[in-house]
């Protein structure tokens, strides 16, 4: 009788095998081949691809750059998102209007948003440089100098995804019980002490959740770079996903890009697990 349950599990298992298990196992196999545009096929070359990537400085640079971008943008998104959520949490004038307004960037297609930002950052035709010029800062080489281009990618990412953080954190704030805040007022805690001792600790679990979701999403950063800078100038804004895309889809080094992908998957899984554990230890007080 209990065998019948497997029949019901079958559709789900099939989907799982088709879209996760098979591609993963196939990618592992491909990563041990030299499959490329000249020699398509699953020959066996052992760990040659992995030895090559170990020596591939461009890959490790992209990974380091991605880590900086991911951690930097997510921290900024968290800080700004929290500040905005706190701003419209309690009764303020036009609270509903602001809540919707802050969500607008998230509702726009990422690629379209990146195209708009590319226009804004355009050094001679975009509107940003004339404004900077007018206020005395002067025109900036937004997309033609490494540091500026890196900052441009960060700005767009923060602009695009702060609303998501804002939404999760506002939902968290709205779900907090009112009593501890009443207690804090009676116990003589001012607004700053209340935030540090009550609001922030009570938001620990939701903060960790929001940060992790964004870290996972941000670690796949690709479309902003693709549209805004194409990884340039040089390789100064190239992220891991974008580099794997170049190797796999432009150079058609399928075997090599499979080994890059798998290494990236393992590094990210380990890193995110460690970060998650550290964040939970740091921010979630009530783990009982």
> Which spans of this chain sit near other proteins (rule: CB under 8 A)?
177, 179-180, 182-190, 193, 197-198, 201-202, 204, 285-286, 288
Contact between 254 and 30 under an 8 Å Cβ cutoff? The reply is: yes
Q: Residue 59: phi, psi to the nearest 5? A: -65, -45
For residue 103, the minimal CB distance to other proteins (Å) is: 28
For residue 178, the minimal CB distance to other proteins (Å) is: 9
CA angle 170-117-73, nearest 5°? Answer: 45
Indicate the residue among 105 and 204 with the shorter CB distance to other proteins. 204
Q: How many CA atoms lie within 13 A of 193 on its CB side?
A: 9
Indicate the residue among 28 and 183 with the shorter CB distance to other proteins. 183
Distance of CA 60 to the CA centre of its chain: 18
Indicate the residue among 133 and 187 with the shorter CB distance to other proteins. 187
Sign of CA dihedral 39, 40, 44, 48: positive
For residue 198, the minimal CB distance to other proteins (Å) is: 7
For residue 205, the minimal CB distance to other proteins (Å) is: 10
Q: Report DSSP letters for 46-103, one per residue.
A: TTHHHHHHHH-HHHHHHHHHHHHHHHHHHHHHHHHHHHHHHHHHS--TTHHHHHHHTT
For residue 273, the minimal CB distance to other proteins (Å) is: 25
Indicate the residue among 202 and 244 with the shorter CB distance to other proteins. 202
- The structure tokens listed for 10 are 């079958």
Indicate the residue among 55 and 286 with the shorter CB distance to other proteins. 286
Q: What is residue 44's three-state secondary structure?
A: coil
For residue 181, the minimal CB distance to other proteins (Å) is: 10
Indicate the residue among 92 and 135 with the shorter CB distance to other proteins. 92
């Amino acid at each position: 009788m209990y065998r019948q349950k497997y029949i019901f599990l079958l559709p789900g298992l099939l989907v799982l095998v088709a879209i996760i298990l098979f591609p993963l196992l196939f990618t592992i196999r491909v990563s041990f081949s030299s499959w490329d545009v000249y020699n398509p096929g699953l020959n066996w070359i052992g760990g040659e691809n992995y030895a090559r990537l170990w020596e591939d400085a461009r890959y490790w640079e992209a990974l380091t750059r991605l880590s900086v971008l991911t951690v930097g943008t997510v921290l900024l998104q968290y800080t700004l998102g929290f500040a905005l959520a706190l701003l419209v949490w309690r009764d303020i004038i036009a609270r509903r209007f602001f809540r919707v307004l802050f969500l607008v960037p998230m509702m726009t297609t990422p690629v379209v948003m990146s195209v708009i930002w590319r226009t804004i950052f355009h050094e001679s035709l975009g509107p940003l440089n004339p404004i900077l010029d007018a206020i005395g800062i002067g025109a900036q080489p937004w997309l033609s100098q490494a540091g500026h281009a890196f900052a441009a990618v960060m700005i767009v990412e923060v602009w695009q995804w702060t609303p998501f953080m804002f939404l999760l954190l506002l939902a968290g704030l709205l779900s907090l019980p009112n009593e501890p805040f009443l207690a804090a007022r009676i116990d003589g805690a001012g607004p700053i002490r209340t935030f540090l001792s009550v609001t922030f600790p009570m938001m620990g679990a939701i903060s960790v959740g929001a940060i992790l979701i964004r870290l996972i999403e941000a670690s796949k950063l690709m479309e902003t770079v693709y549209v805004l800078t194409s990884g340039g100038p040089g390789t100064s804004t190239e992220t891991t996903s974008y580099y794997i895309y170049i190797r796999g889809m432009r150079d058609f080094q399928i075997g090599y890009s499979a080994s890059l992908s798998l290494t990236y998957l393992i590094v990210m899984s380990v890193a995110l697990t460690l970060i998650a554990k550290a964040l939970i230890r740091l921010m979630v007080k009530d783990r009982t």
